[in-house]
Chains A and B, each alone.
Chain A
Amino acid sequence: MQKREILDFFTKNRSMSVGISILLIYLIAAIFAPLLSPHDPYEQNLDVRLSGPSREYPFGTDQFGRCVFSRILYGARISITIGIAAVLFGLIIGSGLGIIAGYRGGLTDLVLMRLMDVLMSIPALILALAVVAALGRSIPNMILAIGINALPLFARLSRSSVLSIRTMEYIEASEAIGTNSFNIIRYHVFKNCFSPLLIFSTLHTASAILMAAALSFLGLGVPPPTAEWGLMTAEARVYLRQAPYLVIFPSMVILVLVLGFNLIGDRLRDMLDPKLRF
């Protein structure tokens, strides 16, 4: 695709532009959180606890009088990090395993794919809960718990791409001229897997963010008092009637970020893989 075409695509494609704008806003919020937040996200001010949105506290205050807006800004760092890191974990290890399984075939393929079947036989959220329960509540453990779920999906996707091109003549030709397996995978196989993996990574980041929020909501994500959106919603549950905004703001922030990734993922799919178009 030419540079001009790519530029045209972004300018003419509204949903892609919206998705990217959302992502940029969140990234800016995450990076510049200390500059943008009007208060310290952990500072308690019991005099103003559970007060609604105001000029001083744009999204109101929580049960400890902490500024919800500041906490949401800081929360962007955690959610984006977990979402992207979990997908990268799945992408690198999962697609690596898938490529090896597909390229080597035989026993390697059988063993690796059966192991992936095991991971797929436990529902994602349950597996993540079990992993966090075993390893403890922390951001790296959450990344691992969510990333493990992505392993079989990426492995299967890359394996099927490899299988479809393994018998192609140009691979045979490369082998005939003595190119080693690593270079064949690097120059031919990986290029062919790239589009489906990119689409899937974007869409899966959306799911990873939702899952991280669900884990934190259940109290098995990051420990309090960390400013994390799912945890903030969970803590606000008790005050649902009294202060519904405490639930609404963090949840809406999750919704918009996930929406952004979904918008980008959907458009990438339309652009790179028209067969999969919904």
Chain B
Amino acid sequence: MRMKKYILKRLLWIVPLIFLVQTLLFLLLTVIPGDIAVLIATPNAPPETIEALREELGLERPLIVQYIDYVTSVFRGDLGKSFIFRLPVSEILVGRLINSLELVTVGMMIAVVAGIPLGVIAAIKRDSLYDRFICTGVLFGISVPLFFIELMTILIFGLYLGWFPVSQRGGPIWTVEGLRHIILPALCLASICLAMIVRLTRSSMLDVLSEDYILTARSKGLKERVVIVTHALKNALIPVVTVIGLQYGFLFGNTVVTEVIFDWPGIGRLTYESIIMRDFPLIRGAVLCIALVFIVINLLVDLIYLRLDPRIEYD
């Protein structure tokens, strides 16, 4: 019952949160110095064109009217029309969002599949050469700029070796072309959260391995593999699952650079392009959409954590 109440409370909080995010976005895009219509119009546009544009965008109305109109229309599901694409923003966002989620999911899968075993190896071989090598790698992993990894990957695997295409999406992921196109950007994206996953798996495993029940399991004569996999790893993974969830949200927010470099038609690149082209409805729509996904991911992470660890209290 308490859990249901907690979930309901968290779900209800999303509505005012979205409202506040909208307000923030409105404020941010209103403080832009200069006349928005002049900024959007082509250089040297005649005053009549600018006037018409101002009217079309509804910029002549008082700010408060613009604000109320914006907020209410979003809650009706209307995100406005893009200046550049001349299409409803929501229509543009759907496809781009799916492409980004595809990229982030593949990246995350690579990071999890590689990160957990590396963390476990580092923990069970603590202070060995493997451990040192992995820990050094982690330190470099969290320090390297993502664009550097990406440009080097393009240079080596794309330009020198020519193994993989380095731009655009090749189609659905289940096709060979789709898979070939997603590998490099997903690998690069994976690299930034791989380090965090390895680090946390290692520290969590080390904590669990020093517990008494592991000693008991060993003294019962269980094989080391059984002790590690079924006794230690199961408990050590609880905090790791949370970090994986949070990193998923983090990756989603960090796809901009990857999508720009690899020309991936996702929501990150769309946000970037809309900012460069000053397409305000699209900027608002894209950032709001990213924020919503981010909020939902974080909520799911909290709920999964509650489910996995009954000791956590609802607050």
**Residues in A lying within 8 Å of B, measured CB to CB:** 114-115, 117-119, 121-126, 129-131, 133-136, 206, 210, 213-214, 217-220, 230, 233-234, 237, 240-241, 244, 247-248, 251-252, 254-256, 258-259, 262-263, 266, 277-278
Q: Which residues of B contact A135 (CB under 8 A)?
A: 31-32
- Interchain nearest-CB distance for B171 vs A (Å): 26
Q: Are A130 and B25 in contact (CB under 8 A)?
A: yes
Q: Are A126 and B287 in contact (CB under 8 A)?
A: yes
The number of chain B residues touching the other chain, given as a range, is: 35 or more
Q: Are A125 and B254 in contact (CB under 8 A)?
A: yes
Binds A, one of B76-84, B182-190, B271-279: B271-279
Q: Are A233 and B139 in contact (CB under 8 A)?
A: no
Q: Are A121 and B295 in contact (CB under 8 A)?
A: yes
B250 interface residue, CB < 8 Å from A? yes
- B residues 192-235 touching A (CB-CB < 8 Å): 199-200, 202-203
Q: Which residues of A contact B199 (CB under 8 A)?
A: 278
Q: Which residues of A contact B109 (CB under 8 A)?
A: none
30 A-B interface contacts by CB (under 8 A): A115-B20, A118-B20, A121-B17, A121-B298, A122-B24, A123-B252, A123-B290, A124-B253, A129-B271, A129-B272, A130-B275, A133-B278, A133-B283, A206-B142, A206-B143, A213-B145, A214-B146, A217-B257, A218-B272, A230-B145, A240-B159, A247-B148, A251-B151, A252-B148, A254-B145, A255-B148, A259-B139, A262-B143, A277-B203, A278-B199
Q: Are B275 and A255 in contact (CB under 8 A)?
A: no
- Interchain CA distance A125-B140 in the complex, whole Å: 21
Q: A130-B25, A130-B283, A134-B28 are known contacts. Are A233 and B147 too (CB-CB below 8 A)?
A: yes
Q: Which residues of B contact A262 (CB under 8 A)?
A: 139, 142-143
17 more A-B residue pairs beyond the given contacts A133-B275, A247-B148, A259-B140, with a C-beta to C-beta distance below 8 A:
A118-B20, A121-B17, A122-B253, A125-B253, A125-B257, A126-B291, A134-B29, A213-B145, A214-B145, A214-B146, A234-B147, A247-B152, A248-B152, A262-B139, A262-B142, A263-B139, A278-B199
Our pick among B143, B250, B254, B290 for the contact of A259 (Cβ within 8 Å) is: B143
Per-position 1/0 for B239-259, Cβ under 8 A of A? 000000000011011101100
Q: Are A214 and B29 in contact (CB under 8 A)?
A: no
- Interchain nearest-CB distance for A101 vs B (Å): 16
Q: Are A121 and B147 in contact (CB under 8 A)?
A: no
**Residues in B lying within 8 Å of A, measured CB to CB:** 16-17, 20-21, 24-25, 28-29, 31-33, 139-140, 142-148, 151-152, 154-155, 159, 199-200, 202-203, 249-250, 252-254, 256-257, 260-261, 268, 271-272, 275-276, 278, 283, 287, 290-291, 294-295, 298
- Interchain nearest-CB distance for A118 vs B (Å): 4
Q: A121-B295, A134-B31 are known contacts. Are A233 and B151 too (CB-CB below 8 A)?
A: yes
- Interchain CA distance A219-B28 in the complex, whole Å: 19
Q: Are A247 and B24 in contact (CB under 8 A)?
A: no
Q: Which residues of B contact A213 (CB under 8 A)?
A: 145, 147
Q: Are B257 and A121 in contact (CB under 8 A)?
A: no
Q: Which residues of B contact A125 (CB under 8 A)?
A: 253-254, 256-257
- Interchain CA distance A125-B24 in the complex, whole Å: 16
- Across the interface, name the chain B residue whose C-beta is closest to A256: B143
Our pick among B20, B257, B283 for the contact of A218 (Cβ within 8 Å) is: B257
- Across the interface, name the chain B residue whose C-beta is closest to A261: B143
Kindly list the 4 A-B residue pairs having the minimum CB-CB distance in the complex, ordered from nearest. Answer: A123-B253, A251-B148, A259-B143, A258-B143
Q: Are A255 and B291 in contact (CB under 8 A)?
A: no
Our pick among B148, B249, B257 for the contact of A123 (Cβ within 8 Å) is: B249
- Interchain nearest-CB distance for B309 vs A (Å): 18
- Interchain nearest-CB distance for A32 vs B (Å): 25
- Across the interface, name the chain B residue whose C-beta is closest to A132: B275
Q: Are A118 and B139 in contact (CB under 8 A)?
A: no
Q: A134-B32, A254-B148 are known contacts. Are A122 and B140 too (CB-CB below 8 A)?
A: no
- Interchain nearest-CB distance for B245 vs A (Å): 14
Q: Are B294 and A122 in contact (CB under 8 A)?
A: yes
Q: Are B140 and A255 in contact (CB under 8 A)?
A: yes
- Interchain nearest-CB distance for B283 vs A (Å): 7
Our pick among B28, B261, B271 for the contact of A131 (Cβ within 8 Å) is: B28
Our pick among A115, A266, A278 for the contact of B202 (Cβ within 8 Å) is: A278
- Interchain nearest-CB distance for A172 vs B (Å): 24
Our pick among A230, A241, A263 for the contact of B155 (Cβ within 8 Å) is: A241
- Interchain nearest-CB distance for B234 vs A (Å): 21
Q: Are A126 and B145 in contact (CB under 8 A)?
A: no
- Interchain CA distance A117-B154 in the complex, whole Å: 37
Q: Which residues of B contact A133 (CB under 8 A)?
A: 28, 32, 275, 278, 283
- Across the interface, name the chain B residue whose C-beta is closest to A233: B147
Q: Which residues of A contact B298 (CB under 8 A)?
A: 121
